[in-house]
Structure 1
Amino acid sequence: MSRLVLKFGGTSVGSLERIEAVAEQVMALRSLGHQLVVVVSAMAGETNRLVEMAYRLSATPNPRELDMLMATGEQVSMSLLATVLSARGCPARSFTGGQAGIVTSSVHGGAMIENIDTAALEANLAEGAVAIVAGFQGCDAMGEITTLGRGGSDYTAVALAAALAADECQIFTDVDGVYSADPRIVPSAVRHDCIRFTDMLAMAEHGAKVLQYQSVHSAYELNVPLRVLSSFTAGHSTLVTFDHLCPVKPIAGLAGVAQLLITIPSKYLIEFRTNLTELNLQFQLLQEQADDVTLIVCDSDEGKIPLELKQRIRHIIKVFTLSIVGQSAETIRHHAIEALSLQGIAVHQYSLADSRLSLTVDSDDYPQAATLLHEKFVVCDEFIDNAPLLAVS
């Protein structure tokens, strides 16, 4: 009998019909004799809806209250899934992060898991019941509810898999594995049957959405096998493994995260960075030129930037940063920029560091740019010996 930790993302539990479909998958696995712990995200769009309500009421919501609010999204999902499983004769019990024994640091909005007391979950499994755990959350040592930041449900699942000595952590999403590009954007994207942790870490670090970086890093550190599957279609999957003999494509992946390219007068840089750090917003200092400084901030954080900071901004545009990662980054720099230029795609900024070439393009140009670079560096074997990794962050 295997012990599995399953994680279902927001699109997988995005409606009552989807939650019923997830229940069927859980029951099918349980019928095979597996012990199951199921981690769920909030229903798709729910966290954004909750945050938007908070910001409509306050330009600077209290971080503690934001965590209290956001944690409810996952709790809705866990309760509904436990309800439908019980109604169908499958014993199940829901647990908040705190009830599941997840103890975190005291950083609201971006806490780290420090310890997991598995007693409650072990007792539940011993009774033959499925444990449904709210992802993305825990409690600090004082009992305060905390959230784990973007991709926190993946992080929850990996940490639980390690603490419970699970045989595998299975991440169910809306794609049936790890692809060389987002197949919804790039039709020629190819799926990997397996991929090494080192390659997956590089992809996640530079923006591949299928797995959150912290979860991959934690799985690597804690020796937890990861498998990515679809909750919509059965059959295919990608195993993230330590096996160095695992065959991988010459290029590991291409993904995308929308960002904001922000230009501010350099005299406001310290103030701007300090405020973003206090708000727990991720940013990257891109370059400093003359009296201006250019930063990149995640697009989803735009609504969290206070009005007084927005008034400091000289220029702001939505962009995608395409990152080509590998030993050959310097070699392919010219080819990548030239290929985009020939198609009329302007590169706003580029940087080369640690074998990583990053190219920033307008968000409207992203689908064409992603497809073009995928065709050139994945489908075409011109650069196969150089074996770069591609990602978009």
Structure 2
Amino acid sequence: DEDGFRDPGEMGIRNQAVNIRFRDGTIYQFTETDPMGEYEFAEVFPFFKWLVAEVDFARYKATGITSIVDYGGQIPDANGWDMPSRGKLNPQPQLDANGAPIINPNTGNNLSRTETGEVLTQAMHLFLGQTNVIEWGKMAYGPGENGGISGIVYYAVTRAEDDPRYAAGEEWEPGIPNVQVALYADYDCNGVIDDLDGDGEPTLADRDNYPLGWFEDPLNPAAKGPEDVDWNENGLFDPGDAVQIAHTDSWDDSNPCGCIQDLPVIHGQEVNECFDNFGTWNQVRPGVFDGGYAFTSYYPGGMASGSLESEGLPAGAYIGLHGSNSAARSLFIKPTARAALGTSVKKKKSAAAFFASATRTCFRSARGRSCPA
């Protein structure tokens, strides 16, 4: 029922990949679900710092997560969701900033947390000898639905393949945060960006590079920084023929919040919430790793047309282009009517490929969620 909570009778899904990543996007551990849909990371080193758990994005629609966090101490007897100890943990009570219980509407108590929507990642802090539980909700795409277009921009520091067309991200290659990714239409499938702004030729979007801000304030020349790219040098951010523009996720820009902890005072100053330290103990909070992006909506007729943003990305052919300072890369993308995130991707030579690239892109989603009120 797409509520992020496993109800009686909802079956587990086998062969779903589950990763634990470091915050820069490199992979620390990976496993897959068994025939019952269950998985386990039996040995996780207590780094006393945040990691990011991730579920498979290539199949099925994400519907949310339910987490149970170990509070430490004596393990109470398990009693379903009335006491979801699983015989392994002491459930952490979920509280708001004022100490009031945050009741999970699916259980009637505050011993678990459910987050709904397209949730693919969760920030995790784990102490040694403790157990955290994350149950990921998935379901098949309905008629006419697809998973949009998503990916990771990452440093391609290694290439094991003789032919770079067959290269894929290695687990030690980190993602790159705050990289602009522009999506263009190619409805005639000729490998050339469709002219949507009416200037008679393909027009690339201006680039708002880190530290960002120009894209959010496009009519303000003062928002443009020396690191940005203004193709016609008019000081205004021009989306060109793009139908959508995004920037890759950044851990630093979406730090976990709402941690259940007593903050210590060090040298007369209270430490930051959710800080990297053993005192943060065990937590599971909304969070992302560096480098992920997703397109799940677009502007019919192009962003420059003034049309309203439309949810959902129709099946068709698109060209994606990302840049990292002086590097950019084009991709020819054709999502299918029932495609999950990352499917039906092929690369094709395009006039938009005008720089050699120091990065590669593989497709996934890692969109963050705002901190609960």
TM-score (norm 2): 0.25
User: Larger helix proportion, structure 1 or 2?
Assistant: 1
TM-score (norm 1): 0.24
Q: Which has the higher contact order (CA 8 A, sep 6+)?
A: 2
